[in-house]
Amino acid sequence: MGLDAWLALSLLAGCVALTARGRLAADFVFPAALVAAVLLRLLPIDEAIKGFANPGLIAVAALYVVAAGLRETGAIDALVQRLFGHPQTVRSAQARLLLPVAGLSAFVANTPIVAGLLPAVSSWARNHGISPSKLMMLLSYGAILGGTVTLLGTSTNLVMAGLLKDQGIVLNLFTQTPIALPAALAGIAFCLLAGRKLLPERLAASDSFRNPREYTVEMLVAADSPLAGQSIADAGLRHLSGLYLMEIVRDGRVLAAIGPEERLGIGDRLIFTGVVSAISELRRLRGLVPATDQIFKLNGRAQGRRLVEVVIGSQNPLCGKTIREGRFRNHYNAAVIALARDGARLNEKLGDVQLHEADTLLLETDENFLEQHRMSRDFLLINAIDGSEPPRHEKAGLAWAGVAAMVVLTSLNLVDVLTGTLLCALFMVGSGCCSMAGARASIDLQVLAVLGAALGLGAAVEKTGAARGLAEGLLSLGADQPWLLLILVYALTCVLTEALSNGAAAVIAFSVTTGLVERLGYNLLPFAMAILIAASASFLTPIGYQTNLMVQAAGGYRFGDYARLGAPLTLVVAAVALGLIPMVWPLLG
């Protein structure tokens, strides 16, 4: 290899080392390394920025919008409650997560599975008192393992199918299943056995800034509520992190010390106390509405409403009056949803609470409230709550229909993955399942910056000949022993997939292996299957696979956290796959 090749490898190694130490953000390190590659003339600028126009990266951005549509309609929340249930232990939660996710990912591309489930799994974990760091990595790993089982699970499988077709070998939907299914099951079993100890206990990035202020809030079981007749536990109100159901008011009677078997009835008033993030999640439950007549008289569309925190100032004209006496809604065109005062629990009905200076109110407002009152002396502070818009439950079916159409169209190869995801994203916005503001806010620029820059660095490694030089040198070590060559092909692909994109790793490993296998007279298919499994089995770093990067912030993970579980998991999957491949397909042609 020449000097350029060694420089490219040094830049890539430097990115991994700096990111692993955790002192610099990955979305700074990788773009900076890409700029350095251009300055060193390892590749021209037009090739360096091609990664940001990569179809896979654009598809990931579109999938964030698809996921936002599912989230804003409450479609994902309902699925999670039905599919995952109410686990009693961390291991039970991990099993309830891993098995369905892997099963779905076998037949639906794994990236949209993770994008769609990410926010709902985060809420589900908090509501059951489980650290998201014990689940988020498994969400990615389960999707990766399931994605290897059939040809539809990941785009890498389709890339390999195309490469093999050029060699006269046609793969069907289940060609790799005899190898991939046992490997996936072994990987899932290992995660369940070791995940509790090897996964770290971390705070998610959002939890570091959680507001500990405690509110009192009243919710009403609506007339058409699907929760009517359900017990407190079955309705999901028993396990709400940061929220406590104090009492139920039913037909003028107060029910205190409520047990989990107490059944809800239409018209029940539920009195909760909790933090603002939990109240925001509570409002996403279908069939519960704020227990105040104010809310139904607000001007403006329901979709335009949001939660806003305000602190009452000394010059507020409503100080000393109750919320009802002061006619708060008429005065500010905003409904008081909850109130916090010095951390104390309030026993009066919300409308009968007398407002004091420095009271903190949680309001449901229209979209103009912030601009109208930002400079007002009535409030000491005004703060909008992100993601607090009420779900569009009536459009949940429409959102699922859009996702189903995307899956069918891409699975049958009627459209490519990029076209399918873009069409679905446009459908989500055009049909009203997702607002334009929600679509913009949903796109994680940090993930896209790292992915785009990593693809550019991968191009530099490939263009300078570093990848091919390392590959040929490594594979030549086992040329005279087919079983050793199989292991080296698998190992090479694992290394490449952590440094490059999965598709690029598969293409490079396949191109190098094909010539060597043909020259030695070995059977190509078993070596191709080793590449197919290894290209997706990326568990060592957050940058190796896009779903690993997508869950990093939600789980609060550091760079090195992945290898703790990922390194032994890689060995487990490799051992099963490499042990079975020669049994299914002979290595000698």
Write down how long the chain is: 589
Average pLDDT over residues 127-137: 86
Pair 107, 248 in one domain: no
Q: Phi and psi of 431, rounded to 5°?
A: -85, -5
Does residue 51 or residue 471 have the better pLDDT? 51
Average pLDDT over residues 495-517: 74
pLDDT greater than 60 at residue 35: yes
Does residue 295 or residue 494 have the better pLDDT? 494
Pair 263, 349 in one domain: yes
| 533-577 residue pLDDT tens | 999 888 988 877 878 888 888 888 888 899 999 999 999 999 999
Residue 227 within any structural domain of the chain: yes
Q: Residue 526 corresponds to which tokens in the numbers above?
A: 């078993």
Residue 49 within any structural domain of the chain: no
Residue pair 115/546 in contact (Cβ under 8 Å)? The answer is no
pLDDT for position 137? 94
Gap between the Cα atoms of 302 and 280, Å rounded: 15
Least confident of 227-231, 239-243, 259-263, 419-423: 239-243
pLDDT greater than 80 at residue 39: yes
Task: Specify the CATH number for the domain of residue 349.
Answer: 3.30.70.1450
The whole-model pTM stands at 0.66
Pair 169, 99 in one domain: yes
> For the chain, how many structural domains are there in total?
2
Q: Phi and psi of 577, rounded to 5°?
A: -60, -50
Residue 511 within any structural domain of the chain: yes
pLDDT greater than 50 at residue 209: no
Average pLDDT over residues 154-166: 78
pLDDT > 90 in the chain, percent: 15
Residue 442 within any structural domain of the chain: no
Picking from 223, 266, 219, 224, the residue whose alpha carbon sits closest to that of residue 244 is 219
pLDDT for position 51? 75
Pair 225, 193 in one domain: no
Pair 224, 190 in one domain: no
Picking from 346, 305, 350, 301, the residue whose alpha carbon sits closest to that of residue 325 is 350
pLDDT for position 194? 92
Neighbour tally for 431: CB within 10 Å: 16
Q: Give the domain-ending residue among 329, 364, 384.
A: 384
pLDDT for position 439? 85
176-187 core/surface letters (b: 16 or more CB in 10 A; e: else):
bbebbbbbbebb
Pair 134, 260 in one domain: no
| 432-462 residue pLDDT tens | 888 887 788 778 787 778 767 877 777 787 7
pLDDT for position 577? 96
Pair 198, 219 in one domain: no
Consecutive H or E run containing 483: helix 482-499
Please, what is the average pLDDT of the chain? 80
Pair 228, 367 in one domain: yes
Pair 194, 244 in one domain: no
Does residue 121 or residue 479 have the better pLDDT? 121
Pair 181, 256 in one domain: no
pLDDT for position 296? 38
Residue 77 within any structural domain of the chain: yes
Three-state DSSP state, 6: helix
Does residue 451 or residue 415 have the better pLDDT? 415
Confidence at 471, pLDDT banded by 50, 70, 90: low
Neighbour tally for 435: CB within 10 Å: 18
Average pLDDT over residues 581-588: 91
Gap between the Cα atoms of 542 and 149, Å rounded: 22
Q: Phi and psi of 87, rounded to 5°?
A: -70, 150
Gap between the Cα atoms of 453 and 25, Å rounded: 13
| 288-339 residue pLDDT tens | 877 664 443 444 444 557 788 888 988 888 888 888 888 888 888 888 877 8
| 100-121 residue pLDDT tens | 899 888 876 677 778 778 877 8
DSSP character at residue 256: E
Confidence at 373, pLDDT banded by 50, 70, 90: confident
Confidence at 251, pLDDT banded by 50, 70, 90: confident
CA dihedral 275, 281, 287, 288 (to 10 degrees): 20
Q: Give the domain-ending residue among 368, 384, 400.
A: 384
Gap between the Cα atoms of 552 and 562, Å rounded: 9
Pair 262, 121 in one domain: no
Pair 191, 75 in one domain: yes
Range of the domain at 554: 63-203+465-584
Residue 30 within any structural domain of the chain: no
Distances in whole angstroms, Cα of residue 50 to Cα of each of 200, 227, 350, 418: 36, 50, 57, 16
Residue 5 within any structural domain of the chain: no
Residue 38 within any structural domain of the chain: no
Neighbour tally for 241: CB within 10 Å: 17
Q: Give the domain-ending residue among 360, 384, 408.
A: 384
274-299 core/surface letters (b: 16 or more CB in 10 A; e: else):
bbbbbbbbbbbbbbbbbbbebbeebe
